[in-house]
A and B are shown apart, each in its own frame.
Chain A
Amino acid sequence: MTFLAFLFILISLVTFVAAQLILKRAMEFSATHGMRNSYFTSRVAIGVVLMTVSFFLTLGLLQRFDLSYLYPFQGLSVIFITVLAAVVLKEKLSVRLTIGALLITAGIVLVSMS
């Protein structure tokens, strides 16, 4: 894998994780304040833009690598999102959930290495 491919995979991953956190915050906000407000629409718009960037980078990468090889890199997003949901969104993490997320991540990385 070239440095460029690694860089694109990394940017794709970071934009995807950031989008998930922003969208979750927006949906939590909509549950109490509704959807017709600038906070909700701006957060969803930012989330959509970040996911679109991630999507097109993935599409470019798909032209060069097998899907079953490339896609599991997104598996790393499991542990990033689980931990960041606890840190940023203040969600409660149980030991079981953390171990489960770690196993899922390890499994996905194993799949991507093979």
Chain B
Amino acid sequence: MRGFDRALEKRMQNRPPGFGNPWLQLGVSVVCVLASELLLKRGASEVAAPDDALSWTGINGLASPLVWWAILLIIASFITWLYVLRYIPLSLAYPLSRVVDILVPLGCWIFLGELISTLRWCGIALVIFGLALVAQPIAKMEERL
């Protein structure tokens, strides 16, 4: 644990300031993924053709402009994600990026009108607890820097 902390702390001391902060970029990446997932669902539903065997490949989704907007956001999230990977270990960055798994169901509930059951709320609570466990040492490290 200490070795892990020190290695990350050393790397973080040389991180770019302001907008180049890897944690901020991680947040930007998550927001882009969230928006793209909601746009993809709307876009895919618009052009859904379940009887067409080719539609399993998802190619027909390209007929929707919303899917193209989603692709732009995915490219943006990909670039920010590569930047994040340069500074933060994958085993730390990836679990943190899954905050999007809470935000997507909440986004579906708010923007797409999908329902969230009690069991799903329990799942969301577990994810929050897991994220808190992963994020707490990072918060302490940031206080030291």
Contacts and interface: CB of A to CB of B under 8 A. Distances in A.
Interface of A: 4, 8, 20-21, 23-24, 27-28, 30-31, 44, 48, 51, 55-64, 66-68, 71-72, 74-75, 77-78, 81-82, 85-86, 89, 91-97, 99-114
B1 A96 contact: yes
Interface in B116-138: 116-120, 122-134, 136-137
B95 A67 contact: no
A4 B3 contact: no
Label chain B's interface by main secondary structure. helix
A58 B104 CA distance: 15
Interface string B58-92: 11110000010000001000100110011001111
A96 B137 contact: yes
Interface of B: 1, 3-4, 7, 37-38, 40-41, 44-45, 47-50, 55-61, 67, 74, 78, 81-82, 85-86, 89-92, 94-95, 98, 101, 104-105, 108-109, 112, 114, 116-120, 122-134, 136-137
Contacts of A68: 104-105, 108-109, 114, 116, 120
